[in-house]
Amino acid sequence: MYKTGMRNIHFEKNSAIISVTIKNSPITNIPATLLTLPAIQHILVEYTKIASIDLSWFYPLKGLATLKLVKSNLQVVHGEGSTNVTTGLNVINLSYNSLRALNLNGFAPFAELTQLVLAHNKLESLTGALNIPALTGLMLNHNRLKQLDACQWNDTQRLQGITLAHNYLRQVPACLERFASLAHVDLNHNRIGYVRWEDLQQLPKLASIDLSFNRITAMPADQAQYPPLLKQLDLCGNPIGVVTIPDGLNDILSYLNLSQTVAPNRN
């Protein structure tokens, strides 16, 4: 359904429909009658006036694999957070909305979730614990986060990538070293001035980290301080005055970007 003026959409019971797309519609709520579509696997809602959703509403849709509510007016996400209820959702995408605060506990029932996309919102705070055992990717880029503490998150052993580019972070999120499968970390365009490299060194599978366009003034001079499998390191656009590249580091890295570094501002 594209570019309709419908404010209310009603679905009759239908066991054949597997996908529903609603775009450019003035609706303010997810149509309740989607529950009459037991075979539905994909829901895409884009450019609407939906301001809030309750994640528990989607629990009965056991076959639902993808939920995308993007480029709308979403400001509030509710969720019971009960782990006694499980669903088969693989992807939740709530990007390009107006979320300012979010409790991660509400995503706990989605045990099969592999991708959680919260990019391009106005997030200033995340509360609760991330408790999604199947999660491999977490996208939080283009928000307004000033800090992020992962110490209360459950050990999500499959998490491979986390994107936090274009936020206001002043340090690398605490306790990232708890996620043993983490391979890619993107922190470009933040306000990070100091990196605890000894924490990142504990990530056995970390292959790439983007720290470009931050406020970092130095990089480790000892090769042993870098993660053992690191292949790509981007420090472009940081105020690194004197660059000392450890012996052998170039032999390990396939990509090292130190261009556009500028001398630190002493004023």
Could you read off the pLDDT of 194-218 as tens digits, one per residue?
999 999 999 999 999 999 999 999 8
223 domain residue, yes or no: no
State the distance between the two ends of the chain, measured CA to CA, in whole angstroms. 58
Domains in the chain, number: 1
Average pLDDT, integer, range 56-81: 93
C-alpha 141/C-alpha 161 separation (Å) is 12
Tell me, yes or no, whether 135 lies in a domain. yes
Prediction pTM value? 0.93
* pLDDT tens sequence across 230-247: 999 999 999 998 787 887
- pLDDT value at residue 266: 37
Taking residue 21's Cβ as centre, other Cβ atoms within 10 Å add up to 12
Domain that includes residue 176, residue range: 1-191
Instruction: Say which residue, 87 or 169, is predicted with more confidence.
Output: 169
Q: Of 63, 67, 80, 76, which Cα lies nearest the Cα of 17?
A: 63
Average pLDDT over residues 117-144: 96
Whether residue 239 lies inside any domain: the answer is no
Q: Which two tokens stand for residue 81?
A: 């957070």
CB-count exposure of residue 227 (10 Å: 0-12, 13-18, 19+):
buried
pLDDT at 261: 64
For position 31, which CATH number holds? 3.80.10.10
Q: Is the pLDDT of residue 92 over 60?
A: yes
Q: Under 8 Å CB-to-CB from 216, ≥6 apart: which residues?
A: 192, 193, 194, 195, 235, 238, 239, 240
Q: What are phi and psi of 225, to 5 degrees?
A: -85, -10
Q: Is the separation of the CB atoms in 159 and 185 below 8 Å?
A: no
In a domain, 208, yes or no: no
265 pLDDT tier (thresholds 50, 70, 90)? very low
Q: Does 116 fall in a domain? A: yes
- The string of pLDDT tens digits covering residues 152-161 is 898 778 999 9
Closest CA to 265 of 235, 245, 239: 239
Distance, in Å, from the CA atom of 201 to the CA atom of 211, rounded to the nearest integer, reads 15
Report CA-CA distances (Å) from 36 to 22, 64, 76.
Answer: 16, 13, 25
Contacts for 241 with CB less than 8 Å, ≥ 6 apart: 217, 263, 264
Report pLDDT for 83: 64
Tell me whether residue 36 is in a domain: yes
Residue 69 within a domain = yes
In a domain, 168, yes or no: yes
